[in-house]
Copies of this chain bind each other. A is one copy, B any other.
Amino acid sequence: MTEFIPPGTRWFALPSPFSMKRGGALHGAHLAFETWGTLDAARSNAILILTGLSPSAHAAASVDNPEAGWWEAMLGPGKPIDTDRWFVICANSLGSCKGSTGSASVDPASGDSYRLRFPDLSIEDIANAAHALVQGLGVQRLACVFGCSMGGLSALAYATLHPGGTRAMVNISGAVQSLPFSIAIRSLQREAIRLDPKWNEGRYDDVAYPESGMRMARKLGVITYRSSLEWSGRFGRVRLDSERREGEDPFGLEFQVESYLEGHARRFVRQFDPNCYLYLSRCMDWFDLAEYGHGDADAALRAIPRGGQDLARALVIGVETDILFPLQQQEQIADGLRAGGADVTFAPLPSPQGHDAFLVDIARFGPVVAAFLAGL
C-alpha cells in the first residue's frame, strides 16, 4: 500500500502497546506526519492539523515534497497559517492508509495485513495518537489545534482527553456527534463497498479490488461534501459534448454533473484502501462528545476551556450550505466553548461549496483564520 504515501512523509513510532478505546492494542504502530516551519526555543509556536477522512499528512508543499498539498493555499510562508511564525504539524490519522498504521498495515503478530482484524478504531484513538506525536516532537502544549471535518471531532477529543494540551482551537465544519442523516450516508457508503463481491470480506488485492463499491462510496461522498446551490450555478443542466457522451446508451454519462462525479471517482478509487475507509467512516458514527459530559454534549463542551484557563480561545467555522455537518452543529460547539469560558469567534460562512468549502473557498476561510491566528 506504499503507493498511497506521499514522498517526504516522516514516521513517528507510537508507544507500544498502544491501547485502543474500544478494546485491543496496537504493537509497533506508527503515525505518518509532516512539519513546516521551525519550533521556537520556548516550544510555544506549534500548531497541529487534524484532517478529514481521506487526506494524507501532506497539507502543503515542503522541501522534501514540492508537490502541492491538500491545503496548499492555507499553509506556508505568508499564508493564513504562516509557517514563518508557526511550527505546523500535520498528522495522517491513525487508521488511515496514507502512511499511518491502519487496517492495510502489516500486523506484526501475524506478518499479514490486519484487514478486518484491525481493532475497532475510534476518534479518540486518532486524537491520542496525534497527542503522542506532538509530545514526541517535544511540544507539551500546542499554540493551537486545527480540526477540519472529521478532524473537528478529533480536535474536540484531543482537548477533552488532554487537558492543557492546547491553548487555542480552530474547529472547522465539525460536530460533537453525527446526525442520523450523516450516519445514514456513511452507512450507505460502507454498504456499497461491502456489497461489492470483490471486497470479499476485506480480502481483496490490487487485481481483485472493489472498484465499483469505492466508486459508489466516493460519488455519494462528493454529493454530500458539496452543495446543491453550487452545482446549480456550476453545472445547471449542461450536457457533455457529443464526443464525450457514451454512445447511444440512455443511462450513460450525459450531464456535466455526471461527468464531474465520474472524474472524482476515478481519481479516488485506487488511491484509498477500502478497509481503511470502512474503519475511518464508522469511527465518525461512533464519536459522541456527550460521553464526557454524563450524556450531555454541551456539558462536555463547557468542560473543555476550564474557565478559559486551559483552552483560552477558539475559532469555530461553519458553512451555511453544509448538509453533512450543518451549521447548527458548529454553532453548538461555539456556544458550548464560550459558555465554558473560552473567548470564541463563531464564523458562519456563506460559501456555496458546502462541507468541502474549507478546501476550496480560501477567499473566505483564509482571512478568518489569519485574523484569529494574528490575535494569539
A220 at the interface (CB under 8 A from B): yes
Interface 1/0 per residue, A195-208 and B, CB below 8 Å: 10100000000000
Which residues on A are within 8 Å of B, measured CB to CB? 120, 177-181, 183-185, 187-188, 190-192, 194-195, 197, 212, 215-216, 219-220, 223, 227-228, 231-232, 234-237, 250-251, 254-258, 261, 278-279, 282, 285, 288, 323, 326
* Interface pair B258/A184, CB less than 8 Å apart: yes
* Interface pair A179/B231, CB less than 8 Å apart: yes
Per a CB cutoff under 8 Å, which of B212, B231, B326 touches A195?
B212
Chain copies in complex = 2
Give the docked Cα–Cα distance between A257 and B236 (Å).
32
* Interface pair B258/A183, CB less than 8 Å apart: yes
Contacts of A257 in B (CB 8 A): 180-181, 183-184, 187
Contacts of A228 in B (CB 8 A): 179-181, 323, 326
* Interface pair B120/A235, CB less than 8 Å apart: no
A197 nearest CB neighbor, chain B only: B197
Q: Given A251-B190, A255-B285, A261-B188, is A181 in contact with B232 using a C-beta cutoff of 8 Å?
A: yes
Q: Which of A190, A251, A255, A326 has the most CB of B within 10 A?
A: A251
Contacts of A235 in B (CB 8 A): 180
Q: Given A191-B216, A192-B216, A237-B177, is A183 in contact with B255 using a C-beta cutoff of 8 Å?
A: yes
